Amino acid sequence: MSNSAASLVAIWCLVALITFNTGLIETRMEEVDSKYKSVEPHLTSTEKPKLEPHVDLKMGKCFHMSREHCPTETKCKRVDPVSVFCCDVDSTRLKEALAITVTQNTVNLHVLNATIEELDVSQSIFRRLTSMALTDGNIGRIVGQFPKYSSIACLNISNNNLSSATVGGPQPVQRPFAYLFTLSVLDASANNLTEFPLSLMQSNRKIFLDLSGNNYLPCKHFLIAMEANNSSLVTFLNYNRTFCALDLLFNWFTELQIVPIDHLRVQKEVNASCLKIRPAESRCSCAPDRLELLDGAVTNVVAVDCSRRHLQQMPTNLPPNTVKLNVSYNNITSLQAVSDDPSYEHLRNLLVDHNDITSIVDLEGTKFIDNFMVFSITNNKLKTIHTYVLSNRFDTTGPSFLIANNYIHCDCNTEKVLKPWLLENLKSIPDYKSLECEDNMGPVVDLKEFQVCHTPRDWTDYIYYIIGLEVLVLVLLISKVSYDYWVFKTAGYLPWPANKMPRLPCDWLCE
Ligand SMILES: *[C@@H]1O[C@H](CO)[C@@H](O)[C@H](O)[C@H]1NC(C)=O
Ligand SMILES: *[C@@H]1O[C@H](CO)[C@@H](O)[C@H](O)[C@H]1NC(C)=O
Ligand SMILES: *[C@@H]1O[C@H](CO)[C@@H](O)[C@H](O)[C@H]1NC(C)=O
Ligand SMILES: *[C@@H]1O[C@H](CO)[C@@H](O)[C@H](O)[C@H]1NC(C)=O
Ligand SMILES: *[C@@H]1O[C@H](CO)[C@@H](O)[C@H](O)[C@H]1NC(C)=O
Ligand SMILES: *[C@@H]1O[C@H](CO)[C@@H](O)[C@H](O)[C@H]1NC(C)=O
Ligand SMILES: *[C@@H]1O[C@H](CO)[C@@H](O)[C@H](O)[C@H]1NC(C)=O
Ligand SMILES: *[C@@H]1O[C@H](CO)[C@@H](O)[C@H](O)[C@H]1NC(C)=O
Ligand SMILES: *[C@@H]1O[C@H](CO)[C@@H](O)[C@H](O)[C@H]1NC(C)=O
Ligand SMILES: *[C@@H]1O[C@H](CO)[C@@H](O)[C@H](O)[C@H]1NC(C)=O
């Protein structure tokens, strides 16, 4: 009797417990769901991921417990029917402990300070989780792939000394996150990632991403994520503490610059501003070129191609931040616009090959001359090179000036000034040997003095004639004076014209 009563009580307790637990599970699930639902409405646009302050961070958190709640006897414990918390484990301990604590109902897992050589995320034990956190440990590498249609909504792998080489890659190339279609929060902060998890960007969904503390992620990947208007909506958690690396591989110096992602300027208007280039019928094409620091902001600078457009003049009203312009194969005669049009202010590469330009004098004092890296004016109609326009520009190495196949007017000045200038700056003028003289006189650097410098030689020739003449006159004068003296001494009179000369005060000396 007492036995059956006891078992009845036990059964009752069990039923009560199960009901209680199920209730808990349900509320917990709701919580999890509502957590992620409640954060979504904040994501309205990615144009500027500055929405972060509006996001209640508590809502965007994965299941997370602090160190003081670490289980004391065991490695893992069930903190509630759906959540498991582990501390300070290695791979084998974790496997054992999870096998005991994780049940069918477990949806939340936080492992604090796991030291794992290789984390295989395809393990079935992770299959039911909606929130998975392995934080503040040391994970050698992440392998495998979360199973298809895995229900993970929040993943925290913060502070595990992970690098991109150890997440998935390099061989075989795997993308652990590829099937995380339900993921809405990924915290990969405080690692050493060098590749942006762009695979997350592919489906149309809203996602919170914390990549702070990974300083070598390329800025261009962030720009892709920020530009994606429609394909995916990314909000960066810890936005102001997220940095990216700017690869300033720009002509001659290689330097990695780390900038806050807040300095990235998304330019959506490149195509629109390209249509505004005048003359309108030129239909130039424009393309983002590279990320650069311009006026303190990281800017996707623009390259404009107006080549082969039958232009008679330089185009004007270039898109903002145009640094490259190709206007080759046109019929342009003047470079005036470079100094007159403000849209040329950032220009650094200018290609005006195969045009009809006669002079570079219009460029004197322009910003372009101070900044240019490439200035190519080959196959034009330059008559002379005004070297003073380019004065000092070649003191620094870097800029190149290309002038081949111009047929300039060569004279002695060319030989005396331009030729030495070309030879002095040959590092910056790679095609200096192909600057030609008109009238088939050959390359400027092969000019010889005697070919072009006639006038100065004639002049020196005359000098000798004049000197000779002067000597002759002097000799005649001395002979005449001597003759006069001899006549005076022998015949006693002065011959003409000495006898007509007035007496001078010094004459008594002779008498
Ligand atoms: C992830 O874990 C880190 C380190 O414990 C914690 O600071 C952060 O808030 C967690 N992030 C999320 C989204 O839960
Ligand atoms: C992390 O766990 C390892 C054992 O796996 C332990 O030696 C180490 O002290 C732990 N780190 C911290 C900060 O507790
Ligand atoms: C972090 O990972 C690198 C290899 O990626 C390893 O050499 C280094 O020892 C790790 N640091 C710690 C603190 O474990
Ligand atoms: C990242 O790597 C560098 C050197 O490779 C190391 O000094 C740094 O501590 C690492 N950072 C983290 C968070 O492991
Ligand atoms: C991006 O979205 C905004 C509205 O949110 C829209 O005005 C704009 O045209 C979109 N741009 C692209 C390239 O889809
Ligand atoms: C998203 O882009 C597609 C084309 O890629 C377009 O048809 C659709 O209208 C866009 N949706 C929104 C909300 O902008
Ligand atoms: C980031 O910092 C800037 C100023 O440095 C501030 O205006 C902005 O509100 C901050 N954004 C966030 C998300 O904290
Ligand atoms: C901009 O124009 C280029 C062609 O010049 C085209 O390939 C690209 O899709 C355009 N981008 C947008 C956003 O319209
Ligand atoms: C400039 O345009 C010409 C003609 O289209 C082309 O041959 C040349 O490769 C272009 N130069 C650069 C650097 O893009
Ligand atoms: C423009 O230049 C091309 C050669 O580059 C030439 O054939 C054409 O006649 C020129 N057109 C005008 C209007 O000068």
Asked, for residue 32, whether it belongs to a domain, the answer is no
Q: Is 40 exposed, middle or buried (0-12, 13-18, 19+ CB in 10 A)?
A: middle
Nearest CA to ligand 2 atom 2: 88
- Sheet order of strands, 374-376 included: 285-294, 297-305, 322-326, 349-351, 374-376, 400-402
β partners of residue 210: 187
What are the b/e assignments for 425-459, b being 16+ CB within 10 Å?
beebbeebebbbbeeebebbbebeeeebbeeeeee
Nearest C-alpha neighbor of 277 from the set 269, 286, 268: 286
Phi and psi torsions of 348, nearest 5°:
-125, -30
122/240 same-domain check: yes
| Structure token pair of residue 299 | 């800017």
Asked, for residue 354, whether it belongs to a domain, the answer is yes
75/183 same-domain check: yes
237/300 same-domain check: no
| 371-396 pLDDT, tens digit each | 999 999 999 999 999 999 998 899 88
Asked, for residue 17, whether it belongs to a domain, the answer is no
Which pLDDT belongs to residue 142?
A: 87
CB atoms within 10 A of CB 415: 20
Nearest C-alpha neighbor of 374 from the set 405, 392, 353: 353
Phi and psi torsions of 499, nearest 5°:
-70, -20
Q: What is the mean pLDDT of residues 430-456?
A: 90
Task: Identify the band that residue 511 occupies on the pLDDT scale cut at 50, 70 and 90.
Answer: low
Asked, for residue 347, whether it belongs to a domain, the answer is yes
| 75-87 pLDDT, tens digit each | 999 999 999 999 9
| Structure token pair of residue 60 | 């965007």
200/86 same-domain check: yes
DSSP β-ladder status, 436-437 and 407-408:
parallel
CA distances in angstroms from 374 to 103, 143, 251, 308, listed in the order given = 67, 47, 10, 19
Count of the separate structural domains present in the chain: 3
Task: Identify the band that residue 233 occupies on the pLDDT scale cut at 50, 70 and 90.
Answer: confident
228/283 same-domain check: no
Select the highest-mean-pLDDT range: 53-67, 209-223, 319-333: 319-333
Which pLDDT belongs to residue 306?
A: 97
Identify the H or E element spanning 97.
helix 91-101
Which pLDDT belongs to residue 206?
A: 84
* Span of 23-37, 182-196, 262-276, 473-487 with lowest mean pLDDT: 23-37
State which of 192, 226, 260 marks the end of a domain. Answer: 260
224/281 same-domain check: no
Give yes or no for residue 190 CB within 6 A of ligand 4: yes
Task: Identify the band that residue 39 occupies on the pLDDT scale cut at 50, 70 and 90.
Answer: very low
Q: Which ligand is nearest to the CA of 46?
A: 5
Asked, for residue 23, whether it belongs to a domain, the answer is no
Residue with tokens 């090179």: 385
Which pLDDT belongs to residue 376?
A: 98
88/118 same-domain check: yes
Residues near ligand 5 with C-beta < 6 Å? 45, 229-230
Which pLDDT belongs to residue 209?
A: 92
Give yes or no for residue 229 CB within 6 A of ligand 8: no
Q: What is the mean pLDDT of residues 108-113?
A: 96
Q: How far apart are CA 265 and CA 250, in angstroms?
A: 19
Show the domain range for 93: 67-260
> Do 380 and 355 form a contact (C-beta atoms < 8 A)?
yes
361/253 same-domain check: no
Q: How far apart are CA 334 and CA 277, in angstroms?
A: 18
Which pLDDT belongs to residue 456?
A: 53
111/238 same-domain check: yes
Query: Has residue 111 got a pLDDT over 50?
Result: yes
207/314 same-domain check: no
Nearest CA to ligand 7 atom 4: 240
Query: Has residue 455 got a pLDDT over 70?
Result: no
Which pLDDT belongs to residue 253?
A: 45
Give yes or no for residue 195 CB within 6 A of ligand 2: no
Q: What is the CATH number of the domain that holds 159?
A: 3.80.10
Task: Identify the band that residue 333 occupies on the pLDDT scale cut at 50, 70 and 90.
Answer: very high
Q: What is the mean pLDDT of residues 286-308?
A: 86
Residue with tokens 């591989």: 249
Asked, for residue 81, whether it belongs to a domain, the answer is yes
- Sheet order of strands, 407-408 included: 407-408, 436-437, 442-443
State which of 260, 290, 306 marks the end of a domain. Answer: 260
Task: Identify the band that residue 267 occupies on the pLDDT scale cut at 50, 70 and 90.
Answer: low
| Structure token pair of residue 310 | 């039958």
| Mean per-residue pLDDT of the chain | 82
Percent of the chain with pLDDT over 90: 50
247/313 same-domain check: no
Query: Has residue 56 got a pLDDT over 50?
Result: no
Q: What is the CATH number of the domain that holds 344?
A: 3.80.10.10
Going by the DSSP 8-state scheme, the letter that residue 167 receives in this structure is B
Helix (H, G, I), strand (E, B) or coil at 181: coil
Task: Identify the band that residue 17 occupies on the pLDDT scale cut at 50, 70 and 90.
Answer: very low
C-alpha angle 117-122-126 in degrees, rounded to nearest 5: 95
Task: Identify the band that residue 459 occupies on the pLDDT scale cut at 50, 70 and 90.
Answer: low
Give yes or no for residue 163 CB within 6 A of ligand 3: yes
231/368 same-domain check: no
Residue with tokens 């069918």: 104
Nearest C-alpha neighbor of 487 from the set 472, 499, 504, 475: 499
Which pLDDT belongs to residue 458?
A: 59
Which pLDDT belongs to residue 391?
A: 83
CA distances in angstroms from 282 to 275, 278, 357, 500, listed in the order given = 9, 7, 19, 90
Which pLDDT belongs to residue 470?
A: 92
Residue with tokens 């261009």: 220
Query: Has residue 60 got a pLDDT over 90?
Result: no
Query: Has residue 57 got a pLDDT over 60?
Result: no
Asked, for residue 338, whether it belongs to a domain, the answer is yes
Q: Which atom of ligand 10 is nearest to the CA of 310?
A: 1
Which pLDDT belongs to residue 284?
A: 94
Asked, for residue 24, whether it belongs to a domain, the answer is no
Q: What is the mean pLDDT of residues 323-346?
A: 96
**In terms of pLDDT, which residue wins out, 28 or 319?**
319
State which of 451, 467, 485 marks the end of a domain. Answer: 451
Going by the DSSP 8-state scheme, the letter that residue 192 receives in this structure is B
Nearest CA to ligand 7 atom 6: 240
**In terms of pLDDT, which residue wins out, 255 or 377?**
377
Which pLDDT belongs to residue 259?
A: 85
Q: How far apart are CA 393 and CA 426, in angstroms?
A: 13
Q: Which atom of ligand 4 is nearest to the CA of 192?
A: 1
